[in-house]
Every structure is written in C-alpha cells, then in structure tokens.
C-alpha cells in the first residue's frame, strides 16, 4: 500500500528579538516569565509593534532556499487564529498568509511558507505557564504530500535542518524545529500527528501510524480523519480529536497589524546571501580539493566553517585532505564541546591557519595544538588577531625549543621507573605507556607522545647495549 | 496655585460624585502630590509643559501603570495595569494632572452608561437621565466640573454621544492619529481615543499632545500637516446629508434649522446632499464590531483574568468564567461575533460586511472631497431616562445611527453643544475627511462662538 506523507514544519527563526516586540528570544536558559512585556504577554490594551524585519528577511531566505515563488507587491495580512489554550496569552495566534508558495527541496514539493508567532510553554502536569517563548518568530513550511516513507520524511527534515543551519536562519534553542506530520495510506483518510519534537520521533510516530492503520484495515475498521498525538515514552500515537469536532479557528485579519508588502528591493537585499546551497558546496569541495565526500559534508555543517577550509586550502603546501582531517577532528571537537558556532567562537581564519601550519610542520604536537585552541576559545575575546607562535613560545609548547630538555626528562624517567622498564623489557609493551604518560604530565603536553615513545625505546635499547658492553 | 485648584475639585468630587457616579477610582494622593510639584516648579521659575496643571480624568479602559483597569467589567475587577497607555504617558510628560478614572459601559459596549458592571452614572444636568455612553463617566466628570478634560474612547460614538447628552464638547480624531497602545480593545479597526472638555480650546491643546506616531501602535500614521488651518479666513463649505435628519426629535430639528440659518447668515455655504448607503450604517457597523469584539474578548478564558475558583478542565473554566463575569450585552456581542466569523458563515456575513464598509467609506469620502465638512445632529434624541432603553438591544443600537459612520470611515468627528432644550444642550456633529481634524475644530469653534452670543 502506498504511503502518503506531508509535513508542516515550524522553524524558530534566528532573530535578536520577538516578532512583535523587543523582548529577547532567549528562553531556554531564563527564569520563567522574565523575557516578557505587555505585548508578548497579551496584556489588556497592548498592541503588536511592527513586524521584526530580520524575521521577515529570514523567512524570505528560506523561500529562496526552497526555490519558492515569493508573494510580491501585494498586501500579506496577518490573521488571528483563535483557540483557547493556557500558553496563548491573547486567545489567538498571529499567523501570516503565505509569503512564498510552490517551491521544492530535492524532489519534495513545498506548498507554502508563512510567518507566525510561537505560543508560550505550558507544563500540563505542573500547571505552569511560561511566556518567555511567547512571540518568538516562527516560519511554517508546508510540504506537498510527496514523501513516501517515514525514513524519507526523516531524511528530508535532516536535510532541511542542515540547510537552515548552514545559512544561520534557525534559533539555537532546544525545540527549534517542531513538526506536524500528515499521513494516509493510499485511498484512506488523512491522519495528522501534531507537534512532534524530534526527527527520530517523526520517523517512529509515522512507522507506528502505518502499522496501526494497516492493522485496522485488516480488521475491517475504517480509518477516520483525526488528529493524534505521539507519546514518546510508549512510542505510540493517541487520538486527540476527530475531525467532526475539530476546531474552527475563525481566521480574521488582525486589525492591529499593517499588511506586509514584499517588494523587489527587500527580496534582493535579504536573499543576496543565499547563493550556493550546502549540498552543492559539498560536491564542489570534494571535487575541487579532492577530499572525501564525508569530510566535505562536515566542512559544510556551517558556512563559516567551510569558508575557513577553503581559505586555508588556498595556502601553498597545504594538503586539503589533511587540513579537512584536522578540522573535522580536533577543531570540530572543541567547537562541539562548547556548542559554539564558528561565527560566535571568536576564532579568526589567520589564527587557525597559523595554528594548523605549525601543527602540520611538526613545530607543535597535536596536544599542544589542542591546548592553544582551548586557550583561544576560552580566553578573553579580543579584537586583534592573536599570534599563535607567541602563545606557543610563552607556554613552552614549541617542540624544537626543548628537545634537549625532553631528552633529559626521558633519561630521568627511565631511571625513576625501573620496574616499568623491566616490565617492558620482559615483553609488556603497555608498561612503556605508563612512562610516556608520566612524561606527558611533566611536559604539560608540549612533547609529542609518539616521539617520546620512540625516544624511550631507543634510550632503553641504548642503555641495554651499554650495560651489555660493560659486562 | 494648582494645589488649591485640586483641593477644590476633590471637595466637589467628594460632595457630588457619590450621587453622579462618574469615577471608578479617584487618585487623591497622587493628584495632590503632582499639583504640589508643579507649584514648586513654578515657584522655582521653571516652565511647565503644554498641559501644565490641567485636570484630567481618564476612562477606565485606558491603562495607568499601577492602577486598576476594570474596563467596567467584573472580569477585570482586580486587574492592575502593569504599564501606562501612550496617551497617559504623553499627558503626564506635559504636566497634566490625572485625578481619577471614570465609569463606562462594560468593555465600552453601550450607548448610555447603564451597562457598567459596577454602578450607573447619572447625567449631571438631570440625575434622572442617562449621561450617554460608553464614555459616560468621562463626559459626566467634565459636565460636573470634576475634571477640565477627560480622555474617552470612541468606537461608534462613545465620546460624542455622552458629550452631546452632558452638554460638553468632544472630538473623535482621525483613526490612526492617536495611539491606541494601552486602550482596552472593543473593535480594533474602529477604536480611537479622544478628549472631552467644556471648550474647543482644551480639545485642541490635548490633541496637540496626544497625537503622533507611536512605535507601539503600528496603525498610527505620520501626517505632518494635520495641524494646519486650511480654511483660514475663508467661508466653510458645509454639507448636510438628508439621511441625518430622518427620525429626528422635532425639538432638535428646530434647533438645527436655527443653527443652519445662523451659519448661512455668517456667509458659510450649506448644501443638502444625500448619502443613501448611510441607511446601512447600523447593520454594517454592528456586524463588523461584533466580529472584532469576539476576537478581542478571546483572552478572557478564566486563567489569567478573573478568579474562577476550582474547575476540572479548560473548557469548563472558559464557560464558567464567561458565564459569571460578563453581563448579557457583552455575551450577546461575543456570540454574534463568533457566529459570523465561523468558517461556515464568514463569507456570507463577515466578508459581505467588509465589502459594505468599503462602499460606505467611499460614498462618504466622495462627499467630503467636495465639501470641507459634514454637519448634522450628534444624537437623534435628547437623553432618555435611566432604564428606559434596557429591554430591546436593537433600540439601543439604533441610537448610534448618526455617530457610527465616522468610525466606519475612520474620519474625524466632533460634537459641540448649541442652544438649549430644557436642561439639556444637545450636541451637533461635524465630520471631515481623514486627517482634516482641524476643519472639524474650525466649525466647532464657529458654532461655539454663535452659541455664546
């Protein structure tokens, strides 16, 4: 039986303030009801301010990514969608008519993109309402029913998210993409699963729903049009309401909001930054620089990250594949560990270039490179480009500078750890690593573990030979 | 000395207001404090703002930070505004003294102020009669000398009707000229805040302060030249729509004829015109207002406003609070407004209403493109006795027939008293094209002068 799936995706747009007021959009880490004002708390007599321009611009950027036709030079009204729920301070949600229609992402059609405001958050069990989220700008993306399997739906969402992240259009909050999934089996009625908060849950909910519907059909029970809720803990969908009793939202144009008009200039200005799409860039990086596709893909996680890769790859004597390995490994690890975007990390291309070159030439060890990176990321931010060589010198992380010293430390270590040396000589390879660890501690990582290992081996052999000669 | 003026006014309020019922709350301490400060500033030789020492009362559907904002409803009996309306901020910035908040029909839904959920306001000119509504407390506070100027709100005549019944002046400015930020909603595309006062000079000075672009109300517009006196020494071109004169109280009709003659004698041109679509003003107005009102009332679900007590679940809470805390007029409007905006009926009712509104607006505008102003009576009758129009809501709605067109068209409309019938001084209404508020005030001043002769 053919499976027909369409998605409605609510994306929290990356902005500094809410859609109709100046409150900050940070809600995940704030005390409840601190980022609110009379407007987003729907106080009596408060009116929405003019629409947040950045939200509209980001909406138009999404339209471009999804190859939509923008609704140009005509009044686009915000409507009031009425329903009662504790998280909705005015009893209606403000939601625009489409700003763009008829697009596609890959071979999946996009019906429309429109803007709306996020409601607050309601914790049913505690009976607590937090309006910090109320009024945060959302774009709703509605796909055509072109998806044919739960896996395809999940992959579509992952791709969409990759694109939105790449162009920095989406907020950083948990729950920044929420999905309503519509599913029907060929010839059957449509069932909507509302407000699913992760992509794997989308896949799970749809898989469950297919099984449920097939079982029903086999039992001769008719599928009814209804709205269901996915329960994450039990992994099943539960009926919320049947369509017969579904809400009538009584959409009316909001008299407090002037209609938006998108003209060519606004379109040009907001969409200028959207050129090469991430998948195109991945392909180009792989071909042009001869790196693995999987590495190219990681480079393109963020636009600024890929920019760094391309910029440094232009430097002579740098092998792009090696650079990609290092960026994908140590650099990405430090950024991810801090959940920092490259753009907000404070790192500059010149700093990364110098650091990488020193590492690549063997002037510093990989752990020294890590240390410098950490100090750049966690240190005080500065407007000047920091000199990596200077930092390395100050911290005694340059390899050549202390080769003599390390040799001496190795000799000392052999003397101080007689038992381990003996163990090693009797064939226990691991005993050597114990000594390597000690030396690494002593040199605070300036030394290269591999080099120390080699040095120790040769020293032990040397010592052995000398002793043999003495005998 | 402002403090003496305030003391005297407070004394008058203490003596007379228990009977009249103009105020919901009197801000005695704050008003005195402010008056003292203004006196000190004068003694220090410093200048005061444009409204220095003027005593204001404010309709209690306009937010004043830290003060109860009841909107005349049990639903908001305990609600304290967490911020001030833009108009309040502007008046305070220009050194006006706010003496109290005034009574109104619940959520401004009414034409005679008998629909306040708390108490009825009486007409200061004759206590057996209604003061008009919904800004009845505001007009009464000015007529009874409790305040020099009052701010009311006008959705379909709520400033002009009580001004006419209480024998004072008022103007509903062009929609978009005065910020609505902080005004409790009735119907958002109609509501406008405006002043009520004993003379047009006070209306003019108040407008000078409260108008202008406000970022917090995006429907406010910048209209640079709206303060310009375009007519100057020229005679005024006046149109009278014959539809204004249908079903008029004969005594008011006689007074209007007298006014017409005097204006003609003074050299102004008065032509009779016809605007047939005015017949439909009442149904168009009420349908559109009900639709917007039902949306505005959506926030009252028992969770944030009004104490509903223990309930099991949401639907029950909404039903219970609305059942208990709203009076029948508000419920009627919510139900009708909800009905005409449902998916099933929206095209047939609301869609047609919006089209009819556009047609009426263009008919009025085409007359106002030929004339400076439209002139007619403000109300087709004198004030009625309290309780007289309580039975039939339609009868009450029809009382607004002359005032609603200005809100449907978003144009300015003022009411100025002329002559006397018994204890009452009926108002006459002047309307002009959008942003031609100065033309309205011009003819109001002319009539004010004729009346004082």
Tokens 């009893």 belong to residue: A91
Q: Looking at residues A349-373, what average pLDDT do you find?
A: 80
Question: Are the beta carbons of A241 and A227 closer than 8 angstroms?
Answer: yes
Strand partners, B79: none
Query: E strand or H helix at A108, and its extent?
Result: strand A108-117
Please list the residue range(s) of chain A that carry CATH number 1.10.10.410.
401-470
E strands within B143-233?
Answer: 149-154, 169-172, 192-197
Asked if residues A134 and A120 have their Cβ atoms less than 8 Å apart, the reply is yes
In the residue annotation, B19 being an active-site residue is answered as no
- Residue B104's pLDDT is 97
Query: Is the CATH code 3.30.160.270 the one for domain A401-470?
Result: no
- A453 vs A328 pLDDT, higher one: A328
What is the distance in angstroms between the Cα of A313 and the nearest Cα belonging to chain B?
49
Cβ <8 Å between A47 and B217: yes
Where are the domains positioned within chain B? 2-227
With 0-12 / 13-18 / 19 or more C-beta atoms within 10 angstroms meaning exposed / middle / buried, residue B150 is buried
Task: Return the higher-pLDDT residue of A224 and B330.
Answer: B330
Is pLDDT above 90 for B126?
yes
Would you tell me which residues 230-249 of chain A have a C-beta closer than 8 angstroms to some C-beta of chain B?
248
Mean pLDDT of A36-47: 96
Which residue has 């794997």 as its token pair? A200
Residue B392 has pLDDT above 80, yes or no: no
Q: How far is CA A306 from CA A124, A250, A343, B270, B395, in A?
A: 43, 47, 11, 76, 73
Find the CB nearest B85 among A45, A89, A255: A45
Task: Give the residue from A381, A367, A467, A375 showing the smallest Cα distance to A418.
Answer: A467
Q: Which residue has the higher pLDDT, A403 or A286?
A: A286
B59 is catalytic: yes
- CA pair distance A381, A372, nearest whole angstrom: 14
This complex has an ipTM of 0.91
User: Chain B, 362-421: which have a CB under 8 Å from a chain A CB?
Assistant: none
Residue linked to tokens 């204001």: B56
User: Which uninterrupted H or E stretch holds A168?
Assistant: none
Which residues from chain A sit within 8 angstroms of residue B63, using beta carbons?
A: 43-45
Query: Is the pLDDT assigned to residue B114 strictly greater than 70?
Result: yes
**Is the model's pLDDT at A330 over the cut of 90?**
no
Estimate to the nearest angstrom the gap between the alpha carbon of A46 and the chain centroid. Answer: 35
Position A381 scores a pLDDT of: 64
The least confident of A113-122, A360-369, B134-143 is A360-369
Contacts of A86 in chain B (CB under 8 A): 301, 303, 314
Q: Residue A246: is its pLDDT beyond 60?
A: no
Question: Of the given ranges (A63-67, A312-316, B87-91, B136-140), which has the lowest mean pLDDT?
Answer: A312-316
CATH fold of B2-227 reads: Amidase signature (AS) enzymes (3.90.1300)
Output the pTM of the full model.
Answer: 0.86
Rounded to whole angstroms, how far apart are CA atoms A140 and A155? 18
**What is the pLDDT confidence band of residue B314, given thresholds at 50, 70 and 90?**
confident
Predicted local confidence at residue A352, as pLDDT: 84
- Cα distance between residue A396 and residue A402, in whole Å: 8
Catalytic residue among B84, B101, B116, B134: B134
In this prediction, residue A107 carries a pLDDT of 93
- What whole-number distance in Å separates Cα of residue A165 and Cα of residue A455? 46
Q: Specify whether B150 is catalytic.
A: no
Q: Are A133 and A119 in contact (CB under 8 A)?
A: yes
Q: Which of B111, B153, B158, B170 is catalytic?
A: B158
Query: Is the separation of the CB atoms in A192 and A166 below 8 Å?
Result: no
> Using CB atoms and an 8 Å cut-off, which of residues 277-316 of chain B contact chain A?
291-292, 294-295, 298-301, 303-305, 314-315
pLDDT confidence of residue B224? 75
What's phi and psi for A227, nearest 5 deg? -110, 130
Contacts of B322 in chain A (CB under 8 A): none
pLDDT confidence bin for B87, thresholds 50/70/90: very high
Give residue B83's Cα distance to chain centre: 22
């509209």: which residue's tokens? Answer: A56
Q: Comparing A223 with B445, which gets the higher pLDDT?
A: B445
- In angstroms, rounded to a whole number, what is the distance separating the alpha carbons of residues A87 and A95? 16
Q: Residue B375's beta-bridge partner residues? A: B430
Residues of A in contact with B344 (CB under 8 A): 248
Helix (H, G, I), strand (E, B) or coil at A122: strand
Beta strand segments in B161-241, E:
169-172, 192-197, 237-241
**Of A290-299, A363-372, B314-323, where does the model show the most confidence?**
A290-299
**pLDDT attached to residue A401:** 57
H/E stretch holding B105 reads none
């Amino acid at each position: 039986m053919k499976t027909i799936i369409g998605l409605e995706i609510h994306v929290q747009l990356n902005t500094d303030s809410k859609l109709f007021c100046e409150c900050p959009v940070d809600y995940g880490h704030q005390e409840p009801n601190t980022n609110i004002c009379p407007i987003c708390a729907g106080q009596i007599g408060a009116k929405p301010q003019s629409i947040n321009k950045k939200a509209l611009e980001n909406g138009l950027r999404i339209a471009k990514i999804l190859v939509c036709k923008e609704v140009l030079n005509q009044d686009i009204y915000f409507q009031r969608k009425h329903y009662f729920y504790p998280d909705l301070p005015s009893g209606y949600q403000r939601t625009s008519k489409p700003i763009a229609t008829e697009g596609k992402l890959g071979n999946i059609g996009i019906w429309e993109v429109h803007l709306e405001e996020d409601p607050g958050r309601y914790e049913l069990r505690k009976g607590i309402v937090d309006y910090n989220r109320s009024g945060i700008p959302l774009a709703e993306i509605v796909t055509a029913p072109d998806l044919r399997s739960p896996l395809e739906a999940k992959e579509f969402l992952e791709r969409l998210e990759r694109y939105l992240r790449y162009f920095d259009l989406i907020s950083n909050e948990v729950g920044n993409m929420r999905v309503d999934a519509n599913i029907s089996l060929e010839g059957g009625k449509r069932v909507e699963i509302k407000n699913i908060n992760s992509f794997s849950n989308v896949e799970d909910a749809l898989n469950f729903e297919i099984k449920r519907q097939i079982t029903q059909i086999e039992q001769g029970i008719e599928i009814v049009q209804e709205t269901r809720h996915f329960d994450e803990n039990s992994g099943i969908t539960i009926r919320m309401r049947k369509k017969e009793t579904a809400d009538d939202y009584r959409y009316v144009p909001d008299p407090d909001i002037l209609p938006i008009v998108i003209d060519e200039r606004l379109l040009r200005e907001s969409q200028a930054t959207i050129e090469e799409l991430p998948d195109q860039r991945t392909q180009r990086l792989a071909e042009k620089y001869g790196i693995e596709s999987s590495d190219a893909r990681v480079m393109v996680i963020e636009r600024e990250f890929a920019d760094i890769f391309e910029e440094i790859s232009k430097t002579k004597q740098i092998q792009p594949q090696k650079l990609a390995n290092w960026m994908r490994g140590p650099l990405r690890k430090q950024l991810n560990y801090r959940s920092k975007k490259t753009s907000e990390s404070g790192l500059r291309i010149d700093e990364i270039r110098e650091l990488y070159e020193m590492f690549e030439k063997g002037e510093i060890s990989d752990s020294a490179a890590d240390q410098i990176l950490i100090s750049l990321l966690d240190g005080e931010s500065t407007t000047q480009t920091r000199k990596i060589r200077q930092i390395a010198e100050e911290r005694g992380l340059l390899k050549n500078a202390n080769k003599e010293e390390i040799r001496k430390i190795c000799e000392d270590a052999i003397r101080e750890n007689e038992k381990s040396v003996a163990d090693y000589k009797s064939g226990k390879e691991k005993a050597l690593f114990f000594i390597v660890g000690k030396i690494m501690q002593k040199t605070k990582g300036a030394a290269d573990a591999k080099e120390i290992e080699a040095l120790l081996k040769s020293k032990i052999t040397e010592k052995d030979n000398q002793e043999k000669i003495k005998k | 000395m402002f403090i003496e003026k305030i003391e005297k006014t407070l004394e008058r309020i203490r003596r007379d207001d228990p009977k009249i019922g103009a105020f919901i709350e009197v801000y005695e301490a704050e008003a005195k404090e402010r008056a003292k400060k203004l006196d000190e500033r004068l003694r220090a030789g410093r200048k005061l703002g444009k409204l220095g020492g003027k005593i204001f009362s404010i309709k209690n559907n306009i937010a004043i930070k830290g003060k109860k904002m009841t909107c005349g409803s049990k639903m908001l009996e305990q609600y304290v505004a967490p911020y001030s309306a833009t108009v309040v901020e502007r008046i305070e910035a220009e050194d006006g003294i706010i003496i109290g908040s005034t009574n109104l029909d619940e959520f401004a839904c009414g034409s005679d102020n008998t629909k306040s959920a708390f108490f009825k306001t009486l007409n200061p000119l004759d206590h057996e009669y209604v003061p008009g509504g919904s800004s009845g407390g505001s007009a009464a506070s000015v007529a009874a000398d409790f305040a020099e100027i009052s701010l009311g709100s006008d959705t379909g005549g709520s400033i002009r009707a009580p001004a006419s019944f209480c024998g004072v002046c008022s103007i509903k400015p062009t929609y978009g000229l005065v910020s609505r930020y902080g005004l409790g909603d009735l119907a958002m595309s109609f509501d406008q805040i405006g002043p009520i006062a004993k003379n047009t000079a006070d209306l003019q000075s108040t407008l000078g302060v409260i108008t202008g672009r406000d970022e917090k109300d995006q429907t406010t517009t910048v209209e640079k030249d709206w303060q310009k006196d375009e007519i100057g020494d020229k005679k005024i071109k006046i149109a009278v729509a014959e539809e204004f004169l249908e079903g008029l109280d004969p005594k008011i009709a006689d007074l209007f004829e007298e006014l017409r003659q005097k204006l003609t004698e003074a050299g102004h041109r008065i032509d009779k015109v016809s605007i047939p679509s005015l017949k439909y003003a009442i149904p168009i107005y009420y349908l559109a207002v009900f639709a917007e009102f039902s949306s505005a009332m959506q926030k009252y679900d028992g969770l944030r406003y009004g104490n509903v007590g223990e309930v099991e679940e949401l639907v029950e809470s909404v039903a219970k609070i609305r059942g208990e805390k709203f009076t029948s007029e508000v419920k009627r409007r919510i139900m009708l407004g909800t009905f005409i905006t449902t998916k099933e009926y929206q095209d047939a009712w609301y869609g047609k209403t919006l089209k009819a509104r556009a047609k009426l607006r263009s008919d009025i505008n085409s007359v106002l493109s030929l004339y400076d102003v439209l002139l007619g009576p403000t109300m087709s009758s004198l004030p009625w006795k309290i309780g007289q129009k309580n039975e039939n809501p339609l009868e009450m709605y029809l009382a607004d027939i002359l005032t609603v067109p200005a809100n449907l068209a978003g144009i300015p409309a003022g009411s100025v008293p002329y002559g006397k019938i018994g204890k009452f001084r009926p108002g006459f209404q002047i309307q002009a094209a959008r942003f031609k508020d100065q033309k309205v005030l011009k003819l109001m001043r002319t009539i004010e002068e004729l009346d004082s002769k």
